[in-house]
A and B are shown apart, each in its own frame.
Chain A
Amino acid sequence: EIVLTQSPGTLSLSPGERATLSCRASQSISSSYLAWYQQKPGQAPRLLIYGASSRATGIPDRFSGSGSGTDFTLTISRLEPEDFAVYYCQQYGSSPRFGPGTKVDIK
């Protein structure tokens, strides 16, 4: 089974700064079946990125995903106030699984 690790656990940044979140898989994820979700307190998760680098419908272009194999990155180019949230990566292959999450909070 594929295990995902995310780093850092918490990222403290100011609005306007760049955020770089990492997701590493214990085995290569085929065909980049890697997604990123955003979750705010009291809300359901929202799909941001699928296929490692494709933005979901309605997602601003300040969000970008990259990577392949076992190493993936979510980048938020300039943090807006509404971007402070928890971010989860997910592999959606044969046995779907989520990473533990990275919390982006206000410095």
Chain B
Amino acid sequence: EVQLMESGGGVVRPGGSLRLSCAASGFTFDDYGMSWVRQAPGKGLEWVSGIDWDGDSIGYADAVEGRFTISRDNAKNSLYLQMNSLRAEDTALYHCARGDGAEYRWNVLDIWGQGTMVTVSS
């Protein structure tokens, strides 16, 4: 079964850091670009960051540029999101999602994880 499972969410104070992980199974992970998409409570979807199959091309939304870092370990079938300088507005459910191709751009998100919740609060 094709599956993505996120972990690493929690409660963190403003200015703090958190590292999210996404474990992939059921498909050849290094064939696909990957993205992180978040959803604040009661709000819509927001694309956060994406990475190509080999990690050579990476992109970020303006809201997280310079604070978040996406990475992947193809040997471990895993995607990561290092989140630094967290703000209250980063509070959201963070989903990892598979792009339907090798690049994170130009490909739809065809497989989604259930998400991991990040709460930034003092």
Q: Which residues of A contact B (CB under 8 A)?
A: 33, 35, 37, 39, 43-47, 50, 56, 86, 88, 90, 92-101
Q: With the chains together, A43 CA to B109 CA distance in Å?
A: 15
- Give chain A residues whose Cβ lies under 8 Å from the Cβ of B110: 47, 56
Chain A residue nearest to B114 (CB atoms) is A44
A93/B45 in contact, CB under 8 A: no
| One of B35, B45, B105, B114 near A101 (C-beta < 8 A) | B45
In the complex, per-residue mask of B25-38: 1 if CB is within 8 Å of any chain A CB, else 0: 00000000001010
| One of A35, A43, A50, A100 near B44 (C-beta < 8 A) | A100
Give the size of the chain B interface in residues (CB under 8 angstroms). 21
- Given A90-B45, A90-B108, 5 additional A-B pairs, CB 8 A: A35-B109, A88-B45, A95-B59, A96-B35, A101-B44
* Interface residue? B89 (CB, 8 A): no
**B 29-58 contacts with A by CB, 8 A:** 35, 37, 44-47, 50
Q: With the chains together, A86 CA to B44 CA distance in Å?
A: 9
A-B contact pairs, 19 of them (CB 8 A): A35-B109, A39-B45, A44-B113, A44-B115, A45-B95, A45-B109, A45-B112, A47-B108, A47-B109, A56-B110, A88-B45, A92-B105, A92-B106, A92-B109, A94-B105, A96-B47, A96-B50, A98-B45, A100-B44
Q: With the chains together, A93 CA to B46 CA distance in Å?
A: 15
* Interface residue? B82 (CB, 8 A): no
B100/A45 in contact, CB under 8 A: no
Chain B nearest CB from A33 CB (Å) reads 6
Chain A nearest CB from B51 CB (Å) reads 12
| One of A88, A93, A99 near B105 (C-beta < 8 A) | A93
| One of A33, A43, A45, A97 near B106 (C-beta < 8 A) | A33
- Give chain A residues whose Cβ lies under 8 Å from the Cβ of B115: 44
